[in-house]
Structure formats: structure tokens, C-alpha cells
A and B are shown apart, each in its own frame.
Chain A
Amino acid sequence: ILNVEQSPQSLHVQEGDSTNFTCSFPSSNFYALHWYRWETAKSPEALFVMTLNGDEKKKGRISATLNTKEGYSYLYIKGSQPEDSATYLCAFNTGGFKTIFGAGTRLFVKA
């Protein structure tokens, strides 16, 4: 059974702190790794799709890295702001249409 694990489950930081969280996935049969940002009462919003080992992607203050050999991806947020408060989901794909989601990391940024 393919499983995607995210840690920590939740994170409380102060405004201005930089933070990171981890997504672990099976290192075999890797095709793509997605990161989504999910605010309460809204729909998940795609942040990154990563496919190559060593990939680094950046969108504003948010960046992500990928290590497919060891099966992990990190998401970094530099200088967290209250509006970054959300659940960050990662999702793993083996090349078919099915994508397997982690349980998410819930980030709370206090002003």
C-alpha cells in the first residue's frame, strides 16, 4: 500500500519566522510530487508539481525541494505571514491518474 506521510501534523509560528515541513513518499515508482495549499472553507490550490530528483521550485516566499532517491520533499516558507496560515498537502503520483495525498501539515501563523 502506497503511503504518504507529512510532518509535523501542525505547526504554530510567529509572524516573520521561517518554517519548513516534510513530505515522505515511496522512493520506488516515483512520477510526480504535488504540493497544495488549502485554506479553510476554500478549495486546495496547487503550489508546485515536481518531477525530477533535485528539483527546486519557488513561488514568492514559498519554495520546495525534492529528493526522489530517498523519498522526501521539503516545503519552506520564508518570513511567515498570517495569510500563510493554511493546511499544506503533498500528493504523490506513480504515473497513473490516481494521486495519493498525505494528511497535511496545518500551519498557524500568529501576528
Chain B
Amino acid sequence: EPEVTQTPSHQVTQMGQEVILRCVPISNHLYFYWYRQILGQKVEFLVSFYNNEISEKSEIFDDQFSVERPDGSNFTLKIRSTKLEDSAMYFCASSEIPGQISGGYTFGSGTRLTVV
């Protein structure tokens, strides 16, 4: 069964450093998303991406964050200058049509980001 692949599975970074989280969505999917879950809290929407541009973003997704689809397969989330509160599990998801009306999203297994 097709999978969404995320790398690395765990990243530790110094506060103030830039990190790039990588995702390979399912190949025929057109809609891409990033979610995150801070330990002990709810899964939160960050951003959705379609047709090479951001379609919606949450208030969490400020100027520190950016997303890119640099080639036909990768979808990346960049955090420019990490803060301690960015420590969380980051999930990438994709869907063939908008996930809210299809069978839902296919999630990757997540990248655990630890900012020290």
C-alpha cells in the first residue's frame, strides 16, 4: 500500500538553528499538509499546499515557517530559527483530492523534532 514517507524520524537541533523536515507524499496525490503535535497536546494543523502554493495556513505557521515542493516528489517544511516551543512531532499528510471530502488524509509516521 502506498505510504507517505518522512525523514528523519528524529531530529535534535540547537535553539536558533534552521531545520528542514522532509516528506515524500504518495505519488498521485495533489494536496499536501503539515500537522504537528506537541507532547501531551492535540494534533494541530499547520499548512496545506496545492498547485505549488499554500492554500491555507494556521496562526501557528508564522514567518519562521515555510514549505516547498522543490521537485516532483519531495515536500519540505523549513523552520528558520528554531525555538524550544517548536519541539513536537511533525506529521506530513497527503490526499488525492481535498482530504476533507475524500477518505481522509494519508499521514506519514512523523518526525520528532527536539530543540535544545
Contact = CB atoms under 8 A, between A and B. Distances in A.
A91 B99 CA distance: 11
Interface string A26-65: 0000011010100001111111110100000000000000
Most chain A CB neighbours (cut-off 10 Å) among B43, B48, B102, B107: B43
A93 B43 contact: no
B106 A101 contact: no
B100 A93 contact: yes
B48 A98 contact: yes
Interface residues of B, number: 28
B100 A99 contact: yes
A43 B56 contact: no
A43 B58 contact: no
Given A96-B56, A97-B33, A99-B99, A49 B43 contact: no
Most chain A CB neighbours (cut-off 10 Å) among B98, B100, B103, B110: B100
Contacts, number: 67
A104 B40 CA distance: 11
Interface string B77-116: 0000000000000010000001111111111111000000
B107 A97 contact: no
A78 B41 CA distance: 28
A49 B104 contact: yes
Interface string A82-101: 00000001010101111111
A11 interface: no
Interface of A: 31-32, 34, 36, 41-49, 51, 89, 91, 93, 95-104
13 contacts: A31-B100, A31-B101, A43-B109, A43-B110, A46-B105, A46-B106, A51-B101, A89-B43, A97-B55, A97-B98, A97-B100, A101-B43, A103-B41
